[in-house]
């Protein structure tokens, strides 16, 4: 059988040579090109190539520096250095009986490998998976792990899309992590970035037309519809397949799909949906695609047979904004339109707030309505906190820093007992006191300085004192963002009480079928702007929230108290004779 592991698509250079080994003692092998721009070794490879592994790179034209493989599966050094072969079939999987996890009815948990545990690796994350099981999590969503330059990063500066970051443990550790998740009944969602590449180590343009004219918010545009784009699209689709086939992940979260500029007859997102559905049918378990988009466009998650792209779900920023404003009162920037409680009511009942109406932040009409009569509510993934909404604040402050215990409980009740697919952010379940800052570790001094200065300028324009904005390049900014796992272990503490409430709410989701009913029309929400009362009815279950400053009563309530915010902290809700009494900033679940 022909060894194709070292084939490379490189239509731009006139000469390509394969370096096996290193510059000092490696072997250089000439390569020959076919009509499609693919290069294959023109002579036999060294006998030991790939056994058990080989470090290798490509010499392009007269460039004396070898470049890493665009499809590198392992970068043992940094992203500028040689690639290393990796055989994904060498792992002994134990998940043969794994049947997957569907998104409908699930609870997601977003984590960043580097800050989830003190060790900051995939193997150390395995040690905390039992906590997620006890919490009632179904799917673990991992921030990007593809290789980037430096030791720590959010993950959105990746340049080697097929390689797992070595500081997290590399590709074999990722397989161990997924296998361990499946052994505990947890599915895995991997966050992937196809809309741009990071600022350091991107050698793709030396090989071929991976990029095109123009930029989005984060970098150069990926070439999805220009000359040579068929191979670029295949590059992305093969990467998508890699996560499902070689790493057994259950879902992908597609970062900022609104930045994918594609005028092709079949949009790349629809191609992704087609290939994922075929793969799901083949393996016999759910494989899911979740989009992140600020377009408020239901086309993304409308089935293909109904004229949509056929993705499974989309994030809803409108939900986050409505909950954040209702609880915190913050109305600056993009929060302005969400000030009245009726905004929360609309989001809960219709999915989007901006569904074709005017957005004061964008200064134009925005979004399209969801057909709530036919679209299941689980297709929207919602949260009250996530990496973006915390980390893109100047100091990385959580809701924990601004809300009391009862208010945090109200956020949890809305998210976990509402009609959508809930997602929690690491540490939210115990009101973690640690921030989640924006952090980088660019080795290039000029890039590090530019990142830090840009961050300060960005927040200075928004009125923040530049002196309080953490330097993303300061190692302490990263270290302070690591979770403190001792917090929830303090019996009787605010952290322990919040964790108990979250566990109670996820248990209720499992026990009461109406709480996972997918129909948007199967629930209703009422608000009293003056009294700051919110009532969310899910079949026979009432989620009652008092967001005001004074005690409030809710009449004609049937059933028993199922959960109370801040249970055990003193001021609690009470129910007698059909009258529910809610203290200020508190919530209760009755059913």
For residue 552, give the 3-state DSSP assignment: strand
Residue 221: beta bridge partners?
A: 212
Active-site residue, selected from the candidate residues 141, 246, 250, 292: 292
552-554 and 541-546 as β-strands: parallel, antiparallel, unpaired? unpaired
Contact 392, 470 (CB under 8 A): no
Contact 421, 509 (CB under 8 A): no
Q: Tell me whether residue 255 is annotated as binding.
A: yes
DSSP line for 291-339: E--SS--GGGGS-GGGTS---SEEE-HHHHHHHHHHHH---SGGGGGG-
CB burial of 183-193 (b: ≥16 within 10 Å; e: otherwise) equals eeebbbbbbbb
**What's the CA gap between 434 and 483, in Å, rounded?**
6
421-425 and 108-111 as β-strands: parallel, antiparallel, unpaired? parallel
Q: Tell me whether residue 254 is annotated as binding.
A: yes
Q: Tell me whether residue 556 is annotated as binding.
A: no
For residue 96, give the 3-state DSSP assignment: coil
Q: Tell me whether residue 318 is annotated as binding.
A: yes
Q: How far is CA 410 from CA 68, 153, 579, in A?
A: 50, 32, 19
CB burial of 396-420 (b: ≥16 within 10 Å; e: otherwise) equals bebbbeebbbbbbbbbbbbbbbbbb
Q: Tell me whether residue 256 is annotated as binding.
A: yes
Q: Tell me whether residue 321 is annotated as binding.
A: yes
Q: Tell me whether residue 354 is annotated as binding.
A: no
**What's the CA gap between 536 and 420, in Å, rounded?**
13
Q: Tell me whether residue 317 is annotated as binding.
A: yes
Sheet holding 579-582, edge to edge: 552-554, 579-582, 574-576
**What's the CA gap between 521 and 251, in Å, rounded?**
27
Is 551 among the residues known to form the active site? Answer: no
Active-site residue, selected from the candidate residues 166, 255, 294, 312: 255
Contact 279, 257 (CB under 8 A): no
Report the half-sphere exposure of 232 (CA within 13 A, side-chain side). 25
Q: Tell me whether residue 319 is annotated as binding.
A: yes
For residue 207, give the 3-state DSSP assignment: helix
Q: How far is CA 21 from CA 17, 322, 329, in A?
A: 13, 56, 60
Contact 247, 190 (CB under 8 A): yes
Is 255 among the residues known to form the active site? Answer: yes
Q: Tell me whether residue 190 is annotated as binding.
A: no
DSSP line for 162-189: EEE-GGGTHHHHHHHHHHHHHHTT-EEE
What are the structure tokens assigned to 44, written together? Answer: 């036999």
Q: Tell me whether residue 387 is annotated as binding.
A: yes
146-147 and 211-215 as β-strands: parallel, antiparallel, unpaired? unpaired
**Residue 547, preceding peptide bond in cis (omega within 30° of 0):** no
Contact 205, 67 (CB under 8 A): no
139-142 and 187-192 as β-strands: parallel, antiparallel, unpaired? parallel
Provide the annotated binding site for substrate: 253-258, 317-321, 387-392
Residues recognised as catalytic: 255, 292
């Amino acid at each position: 059988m022909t060894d194709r592991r070292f084939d490379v698509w490189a239509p731009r250079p006139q000469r390509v040579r394969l370096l096996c080994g290193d510059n000092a003692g490696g072997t250089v092998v000439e390569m020959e090109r076919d009509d499609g721009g693919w290069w294959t070794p023109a002579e036999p490879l060294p006998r030991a190539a790939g056994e058990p592994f080989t470090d290798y790179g490509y010499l392009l034209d007269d460039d004396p520096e070898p470049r890493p493989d665009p499809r590198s599966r392992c970068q043992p050094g940094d992203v500028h250095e040689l690639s290393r072969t990796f055989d994904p079939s060498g792992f002994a999987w134990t998940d043969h009986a794994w049947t997957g996890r569907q998104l409908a009815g699930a609870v997601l948990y977003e984590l960043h490998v580097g800050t989830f545990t003190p060790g900051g690796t995939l193997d150390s994350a395995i040690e905390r998976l039992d906590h997620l099981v006890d919490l009632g999590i179904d799917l673990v969503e991992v921030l990007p792990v593809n290789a980037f330059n430096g030791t720590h990063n959010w993950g959105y500066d990746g340049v080697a899309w097929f390689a797992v970051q070595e500081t997290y443990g590399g590709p074999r550790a990722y397989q161990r992590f997924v296998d361990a998740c499946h052994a505990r009944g947890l599915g895995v969602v991997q966050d992937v970035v196809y809309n741009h590449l990071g600022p350091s180590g991107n050698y793709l343009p030396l090989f071929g037309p991976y990029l095109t004219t123009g930029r989005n918010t984060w970098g150069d545009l990926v070439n999805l519809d220009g000359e040579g784009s068929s191979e670029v699209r295949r590059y992305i689709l093969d990467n998508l397949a890699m996560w499902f086939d070689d790493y057994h992940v259950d879902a992908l979260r597609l970062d900022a799909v609104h930045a994918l500029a594609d005028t092709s007859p079949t949009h790349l997102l629809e191609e992704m949906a087609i290939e994922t559905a075929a793969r799901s049918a083949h393996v016999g378990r759910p494989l899911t695609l979740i989009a992140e988009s600020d377009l408020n466009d239901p086309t993304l998650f409308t089935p293909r047979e109904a004229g949509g792209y056929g993705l499974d779900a989309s994030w809803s920023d409108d939900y986050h904004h409505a909950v954040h404003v209702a609880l915190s009162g913050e109305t600056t920037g993009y929060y302005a339109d969400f000030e009245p409680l009726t905004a929360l009511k609309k989001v809960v009942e219709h999915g989007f707030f901006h569904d074709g109406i005017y957005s004061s932040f964008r200064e134009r009409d925005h979004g399209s309505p969801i057909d709530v009569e036919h679209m299941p509510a689980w297709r929207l993934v919602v949260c009250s906190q996530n990496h973006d909404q915390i980390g893109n604040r100047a100091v990385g402050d959580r809701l924990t820093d601004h809300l009391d215990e009862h208010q945090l409980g109200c956020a949890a009740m809305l998210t976990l007992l509402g009609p959508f697919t809930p997602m929690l952010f690491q540490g939210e379940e115990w009101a973690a006191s640690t921030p989640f800052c924006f952090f980088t570790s660019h080795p290039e001094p000029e890039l590090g300085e530019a990142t830090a200065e840009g961050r300060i300028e960005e927040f200075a324009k928004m009125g923040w004192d530049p002196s309080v904005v953490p330097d993303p390049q300061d190692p302490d900014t990263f270290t302070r963002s690591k979770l403190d796992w001792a917090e929830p272990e303090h019996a009787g503490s605010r952290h322990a009480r919040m964790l108990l409430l979250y566990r109670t709410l996820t248990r209720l989701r499992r026990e009461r079928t109406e709480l996972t009913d997918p129909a948007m029309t199967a629930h209703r929400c009422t608000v009293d702007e003056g009294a700051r009362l919110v009532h969310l009815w899910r079949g026979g279950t009432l989620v009652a929230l008092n967001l005001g400053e004074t005690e409030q009563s809710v009449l004609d309530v049937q059933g028993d108290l199922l959960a109370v915010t801040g249970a055990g902290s003193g001021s609690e809700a009470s129910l007698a004779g059909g009258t529910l009494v809610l203290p200020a900033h508190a919530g209760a679940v009755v059913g």
